[in-house]
Amino acid sequence: MNSVIQTQLMPGVQLTAVHTRKFKSSYFGVAMLVPLEKEHAAQHALLPMVLRRGSADHPDMQSVAAALDDLYGGAVEPLVTKKGETQCIGFTASFLDDAYALAGEDILTPAARLLGELLLHPYTEMGVFSQEYVRGERSNLIDRIRSAMNDKRQYSMLRLGQEMCAYEAFGVSKYGDESRAAAITPESLWERYQTLLSTARIELFYCGSAQPERVQKALMDAFADLPVNEQRLLPDCEIRITAPEQPNVVEESLDVTQGKLAMGFRTGGLSVWDEEYPALMLLNAVFGGTSMSKLFMNVRERLSLCYFASSGLEKMKGLMLVSSGIEFDKYQQARDEILAQLEACRRGEITPDELEGARRIVINSLHTTLDSQSRMADYWLGQAAADLTETPEQLAQRLEQVTAEQIAHVARSVCLDTVYFLKGKEEMG
């Protein structure tokens, strides 16, 4: 029912168009794919926020908001995300589907035009970005970098990533760091912007009721001013195979009432490109990825050691990351139990119920990707970053074949690398 068509609009500029009538909205994604690196991460993150402030034709936020209101309350949000060691920056946008416009007017074409305008024709002053916009958004970006500590669960995972991958690009936060953010000027950002416009790989996404030809034409016209370059390269991702012999343990204290225990594992180099990747997905689901996983059933339900305990994959990077919330004095017990559950997976102690349950959840999640425009956009952006074209349905088919023995096999290559523990201040001796 969903048909996916991928076309090269120009060298290094790809459009993924999903044609379907089932949504009330049309959804767009515009992303530049750039290497995640300390030096430029903050500049890259700042760029969509400054671009969103205004274009040559809609020079301030109020005129952009008015244009969006006129398109029935369309929404354009800055996109800053990371896929492996690729930083993806740009916009996502959602507009009312043409079918529901009160007077039958065309929304697709002006919506595409507005997106192209925001990305390619920013409001400028003396040939560079507006001083005021850069100052304002720079300060917002710094606030955002600092506010990472507000949500302690996310913060513990961020800190785990930084500690574990201190010497890999993955350790760089998608928003960059505060000192480099503070140093950005309208001139330096402009220069970076020019470089990205002509060198970054660009991914466009559309999902809605319009025929693919109409979408191609609308986006082609909207992005016609992109410079032509045959060398828009896709960023790489470094995969470390081995973990240190003794895991690296990091403890920090903040004034919190609940502790957070985060544990980072290396998958022994297994990643999204491997034939065994579906087995790794199911290992994660059986171990900690669902509400019937070993971590949920044992660490939370049976032993009441924590309020939550779950695991997730960084599929390009070959990492499995565990996140849990615990009482401070349950640290050792919770850590031992989490490792014991992984050990059980390694020994192949996976019941048919556990395996089938995990398989159904992962497969259903892939199927329901097709019922959500934003999830489809994120899926296809991830595939583009990994240079893969497998559809969710195809991946689901591979998952059907995985056996418990294959899961145990991949579990044996998973190795603890870093433990991060966030505890309360009273605990400090």
As a three-state string, the secondary structure of the chain is CCEEEEEEEECCEEEEEEECCCCCEEEEEEEEEEECCHHHHHHHHHHHHHHCCCECCCCCHHHHHHHHHHCCCCEEEEEEEEECCEEEEEEEEEEECHHHCCCCCCCHHHHHHHHHHHHHCECEECCEECHHHHHHHHHHHHHHHHHHHCCHHHHHHHHHHHHHCCCCHHHCCCCCCHHHHHCCCHHHHHHHHHHHHHHCEEEEEEEECCCHHHHHHHHHHHCCCCCCCCCCCCCCCCCCCCCCCCCEEEEEECCCCCEEEEEEEECCCCCCCCCCHHHHHHHHHHHHHCCCCHHHHHHHHHCCCEEEEEEEEECCCCEEEEEEEECHHHHHHHHHHHHHHHHHHHCCCCCHHHHHHHHHHHHHHHHHHCCCHHHHHHHHHHHHHHCCCCCHHHHHHHHHCCCHHHHHHHHHCCEEEEEEEEECCCCCC
In angstroms, what is the minimal distance from the CB of 223 to another protein?
Answer: 24
Q: Based on CB atoms, which residue is closest to another protein, 160 or 361? A: 361
Residues that bind another protein (CB under 8 A): 1, 20-25, 60-62, 65-66, 68-75, 94-96, 99-100, 102, 132, 136, 139-140, 143-144, 146-147, 149-152, 254-258, 290-292, 297, 300-301, 304, 306-307, 325, 327, 353, 356-357, 360-361, 363-365, 367-368, 370-373
In angstroms, what is the minimal distance from the CB of 101 to another protein?
Answer: 9
Q: Based on CB atoms, which residue is closest to another protein, 370 or 407? A: 370
Q: Based on CB atoms, which residue is closest to another protein, 334 or 384? A: 334
Q: Based on CB atoms, which residue is closest to another protein, 20 or 406? A: 20
In angstroms, what is the minimal distance from the CB of 207 to another protein?
Answer: 11
In angstroms, what is the minimal distance from the CB of 35 to another protein?
Answer: 26
Q: Based on CB atoms, which residue is closest to another protein, 87 or 130? A: 130
In angstroms, what is the minimal distance from the CB of 153 to another protein?
Answer: 8
In angstroms, what is the minimal distance from the CB of 139 to another protein?
Answer: 6
In angstroms, what is the minimal distance from the CB of 93 to another protein?
Answer: 11
Q: Based on CB atoms, which residue is closest to another protein, 297 or 415? A: 297
Q: Based on CB atoms, which residue is closest to another protein, 23 or 273? A: 23
